[in-house]
Amino acid sequence: MAHEKTDFAATIETDQAEWLTEQTAEFGLPDDSKALRILIDFAMEELDAQLIFASENSRCRHCG
């Protein structure tokens, strides 16, 4: 079932993009966009936003 999709631009670290591409290939997904939608849906349905975005968890591991 197709749903309305919206183009969304984001800047991510190179290793994050590489990991996403690896997961796309490993799980036979059509593209990285699908992998990202799966991650977002999982976070929305299964995880607590307060936990994800708490100050101790929201720091970028690349920011040093």
Is 50 inside any structural domain? yes
Nearest 5°: phi and psi at 36? -65, -40
Range of the domain at 40: 28-58
Tokens of 5: 């999709």
Give the total number of structural domains in the chain. 1
Question: Considering the domain boundaries, does residue 54 fall inside one?
Answer: yes
Reduced to 3 states, what is the DSSP secondary structure of residue 5? coil
Please indicate, yes or no, if residue 51 is contained in any of the structural domains: yes
Q: For residue 1, what pLDDT is reported?
A: 59
Residue 11 placed within a domain: no
Q: What is the pLDDT of residue 24?
A: 98
Entry pTM = 0.80
Is position 44 within any domain?
yes
pLDDT per residue over 9-64, tens digit each? 999 999 999 999 999 999 999 999 999 999 999 999 988 888 888 888 776 777 76
Q: Is residue 37 part of a domain?
A: yes
Residue 23 within any structural domain of the chain: no
In a domain, 2, yes or no: no
Query: How far from chain centre, in Å, is Cα 10?
Result: 10
Q: What pLDDT score does 3 carry?
A: 82
Q: Is the pLDDT of residue 8 over 70?
A: yes
